[in-house]
Amino acid sequence: MAERRRDERGVRDVGEGAQAVGEPWRRRVRPEEAHAWDELVVTARRTVSDGLVVGTSGNVSVRVGDIVLVTPSGVPYDRLTPDDAVGVDLDSRQVLGTLLPTSELPMHLAVYRNTDARAVVHTHAVHATAVSTLVPELPSIHYMSGALGGPVRVAPYATYGTEELAENMLQALVGRSACLLQNHGTIAYGASLDQAFDRTAQLEWMCRLWLTASSVPGLSPTLLSGALVAEAGERLRGYGQRG
Ligand SMILES: [Zn+2]
């Protein structure tokens, strides 16, 4: 098995309220956490079925109170069961599960500590990652960047799983709900798993659009001004069902 579990030596089946020191992750999963975990697994599988992630190269998290549920490291999403819930607190201490959290945990926690995010989706989507190697900011090819807070920035490269990468990401996310990670991928957050997923899909789509338009020999795409993107962003905030 490629799965990595914490060293379980000495782990006893302690009951709630009887946690052994140093083994706090053995507490039971609460009903709201179990529900959120089910939704997280569905979202993680969607990232694969929609082509945003190959294998286990992305990760998904959702916040429930002060706990962050997060996909474990190196486990294919179709193998995740309700018993595999992994949870950490905002200080990165594992409180639920025996599987190791994703190695990209510093990025997820940095988002939760610094924004009102309830969910985060990180992928290595191919078009977005391609764009991250070409420009410092996704050119304003479409007004939908207004839905992400404005032109999407590219966070400078740093090794995956490091605090440096998390810091670069935070800088790129100022005023935005998504960014690209240079030579790496995407990260997006939202008020729900569906919103974080949809923002990721929109970002990948815009990157694909720009690459497509840019690939016509002898022509280059027209771009939108910052003012036009901001105007669209304002309208998008009021978009949807009324009443
Ligand atoms: Zn990654």
Percent of the chain topping pLDDT 70: 88
Whole-number pLDDT of residue 237: 87
**pLDDT of 18 over the 80 cut:** no
For residue 157, report the distance from its CA to the centre of ligand 1, in Å: 11
Q: Please, which pLDDT band fits residue 243 given cuts at 50, 70 and 90? A: very low
For residue 65, report the distance from its CA to the centre of ligand 1, in Å: 25
Query: Does 104 participate in catalysis according to the annotation?
Result: yes
Q: For the chain, count helices (H), then strands (E).
A: 6, 8
What is the pTM (predicted TM-score) of this model?
0.89
Q: Please, which pLDDT band fits residue 62 given cuts at 50, 70 and 90? A: very high
Whole-number pLDDT of residue 242: 57
* Torsion angles phi and psi, residue 157, rounded to 5: -65, 140
Which whole number is the average pLDDT over 144-172? 97
**pLDDT of 234 over the 50 cut:** yes
| Distances from the Cα of 213 to the Cα of 13, 207, 217, 222, angstroms | 58, 10, 10, 9
For residue 67, report the distance from its CA to the centre of ligand 1, in Å: 22
Distance CA 59, CA 62 (A): 11
For residue 158, report the distance from its CA to the centre of ligand 1, in Å: 11
Q: Which ranges of the chain would DSSP assign to H, the alpha helix?
A: 31-49, 105-114, 126-132, 163-173, 193-214, 226-237
Q: Please, which pLDDT band fits residue 239 given cuts at 50, 70 and 90? A: confident
In the DSSP assignment, the letter for residue 72 is B
**pLDDT of 16 over the 80 cut:** no
Reduce the DSSP state of residue 77 to 3 states and report it: helix
* Torsion angles phi and psi, residue 231, rounded to 5: -65, -45
Q: Which of 104, 163, 164, 167 is catalytic?
A: 104
Distance CA 168, CA 130 (A): 18
68-96 pLDDT tens trace: 999 999 999 999 999 999 999 999 999 99
User: Could you tell me if 110 and 82 are in contact, meaning their C-beta atoms sit under 8 angstroms apart?
Assistant: no
User: Could you tell me if 25 and 89 are in contact, meaning their C-beta atoms sit under 8 angstroms apart?
Assistant: no
Task: Estimate to the nearest angstrom the gap between the alpha carbon of 206 and the chain centroid.
Answer: 17
